[in-house]
Each structure stands twice: as structure tokens, then as C-alpha cells.
Amino acid sequence: MMFNKVIVIIVAIILGIWLEGCDCKVVQFIFGDSLSDVGNNRHLSRSLAQANLPWYGIDMGNGLPNGRFSNGRTVADIIGDSLGLPRPPPVLDTSLTEKDILINGLNYASGGGGILNETGTYFIEKLSLDKQIELFQGTQELIRSKIGKRAADKFFREAQYVLHGLGARQLMVFGLGPMGCIPLQRVLTTTGNCREKVNKLALSFNKASSELIDDLVKELPNSNYRFGDAYDVVSDLISNPLKYGLTRVYACGAAYLARFQNSDSPCCSFGRIRPALTCVPASTLCSDRSKYVFWDEYHPSDSANELIANELIKKFGLSSSGQNAAPSPAPAIAPSPQD
């Protein structure tokens, strides 16, 4: 039997993994918060952290909400696509079978979830990191019952997880970005500038995480842990958006460079009524979402996610898994409903 090997990518404040050196098929198990949620919160009926209304998802697939807190793809989507990997479905999708998991992996990320159980309690219902790991342990038992203990142990032993006790040997840790520069933080100041106190907390977290990873490498046998920090490039993107752009292609085939123009306000908002805590059908959309760094008050746009993902791919030296799945192109930007 062919065994899948596993990448665990935990985006934002959590952890991410890349596994090398095996001929077997690669799948992903993704953990995180709203930056990597692909629909788990849609199955949490009491959760206030939802992306189930227009205009979420407007630039992806059929343009309808799909559980992602963006107009398009997440960073994890783009990294996985670039490696030719299948996109894992949300773990709370009750229609999934053991075969689906073996072929596609799973996504445990939940909007409002965090490292601490008390994080995001004002959202009422969410999956904390503890709960995500608990669900992953349940996945392990399910796979063992499907393919047997020996085969399942091989499947998971070759993977990388949040805890060393679960089998982690090669680990990528993603650092925080300049959290004090998201639109919600800026609009709460009298000047509209970034909140440097919050940014300093993010930098302190990144420094401590990097040092922890270095220590773990020394202490844990057969481990190859790395820290990926995109803080500087995201900070520079926010400070100097016109420096950055992504190559796009017209319908006629001609290529052009789409530069960012706005990095301090959300594309989806209520105009001057801010903060608009979420994007809803009554919201006003910017005319060109590819030029905005932020989609809503909290989350990057598809274009910004692509730039961040490319930076992390470069820092980690990731390359295609050699599987058949082809990287997805950037979504075509749909017309704004006001146009």
C-alpha cells in the first residue's frame, strides 16, 4: 500500500510543517485561526466568527462564501497549491470519509481560535488549539481503525505535528506579522497610524518563538525545526505599498504588474462608518481588490496573501511535491456589486 506523508501547516500564530525525503504522496493537516479557516466555523452554529455572507469568497470559485475570511485564497491555500498539493477540507465536514482524509488531509483551523483556550471567548464558539489537537488525535484513531495500527503509525510517524510526542521531527513555525497595523487597530487610534505597542508584542513573540525553536532543535532527537518570519516584508508592504505588485494576465494573454495602492483601510467596509467588524451584503467594496492589502478590518486580501505565501515559500526553500495537482492561478477579480 502507498502511504501518504504529511505536511502540517499552521498559519498565523500557530505552526507549520514541511516534510521531505519520501516518495509517497503528500497531504496537508492545517491548524490555525481565521487566517487559515476554510469552513470549520460554518459548522459551529453559535460562533460569532463567521465568513458565511457575501462578500467573502467573491474572487474564488463561484464567488459565493466558502468559509474563508477573505475575498479569495488563504496563505495555506497558496503554499499548498504551489507545491501541487490537494486542498484539505474542514475537519467538521460530516460528509468526509477515511478515504477523503487519506487523499486530501484535513483542515482544523477555526476563526477566533488561538494558542490559549481563553483566546476569542467573545466569539462564543470556536476551536482552540487544544481542541484542534484533540480532533487531530481523533483523526489518528480513525485512520488506525481504517488501515491498521502499523500502517497508520507509519503514516503519522513520518509527519510533523505541533507536539514532539505526536511525531514532530521537521517543523516550520510561522511568525506573526505587524498586528498593530491591521485596519481595526489603526482606526482605533486618533492618528490612524499603526499601534506600535501591539507591533512590539508581535516582535517579542517572534523572537521568543525563534529562540524556542533553536532550543528544541538542540534538545529533541532527529528534529529539523525552522522559523519563518515574514514580519519585515509585510511591514514594508504596509509602509510602502507602491513598491510591491503581483504579475497578472489580461484575458488577451498580456501580462501586467498590479501594484498595491492601499494598505491602511479595508476593501470591504461601511465607508466612513468604522470599524466595520465584518463584511456583509450591505458593505461597500473597493473598485479593485487586487490593489488593497486588507480585505476587511482583520484579514489580508487574496493578493496580499499571495505575496506573504511567496515570501514564506522562498524563506523555507519549498519546492513542488512532484504530484499531479497543478498550482492554482490567482483568481480573476470579479466586478464589485456597486460597479
Question: 113 with 32: CB under 8 angstroms?
Answer: yes
Q: How far apart are CA 259 and CA 240, in angstroms?
A: 11
pLDDT at position 212: 87
Domain assignment of residue 337, yes or no: no
Residues 6+ apart with CB under 8 A from 115: 13, 14, 128, 129
* Least reliable range by pLDDT among 10-24, 41-55, 64-78, 280-294: 10-24
Q: pTM (2 decimals)?
A: 0.88
Place 24 in a pLDDT band, splitting at 50, 70 and 90.
very low
Instruction: Give the 3-state secondary structure percentages of the chain, helix then strand then coil, rounded to 5.
Output: 35, 15, 50
Domain assignment of residue 292, yes or no: yes
pLDDT at position 9: 45
pLDDT at position 81: 92
**Is residue 285's pLDDT more than 80?**
yes
We report the CATH number of the domain holding residue 141 as 3.40.50
Please give the average per-residue pLDDT across 176-180, as a whole number. 95
Q: How far apart are CA 19 and CA 158, in angstroms?
A: 8
Measured between alpha carbons, how far apart are the two ends of the chain, in Å?
54
pLDDT at position 142: 93
pLDDT at position 323: 66
Alpha-carbon 149 to chain mean position:
31
Domain assignment of residue 331, yes or no: no
Which of residues 30 and 49 earns the better pLDDT score?
49
Please give the average per-residue pLDDT across 56-81, as a whole number. 95
Alpha-carbon 230 to chain mean position:
13
pLDDT at position 206: 92
Cell numbers at residue 78, please? Answer: 497558496
Domain around 150: 5-316
**Mean per-residue pLDDT over the chain, rounded:** 84
Q: Which three-class secondary structure state does DSSP give residue 56?
A: coil
Domain assignment of residue 23, yes or no: yes
pLDDT at position 25: 65
DSSP 300: B
Domain assignment of residue 236, yes or no: yes
Characterize the bridge pairing of strands 255-259 and 262-266: unpaired
Domain assignment of residue 131, yes or no: yes
Active centre residues (catalytic): 34, 296, 299
Domain assignment of residue 196, yes or no: yes
Residues 6+ apart with CB under 8 A from 54: 64, 65, 279, 280, 281, 337
Which of residues 24 and 96 earns the better pLDDT score?
96
pLDDT at position 228: 82
Number of domains in the chain: 1
Domain assignment of residue 329, yes or no: no
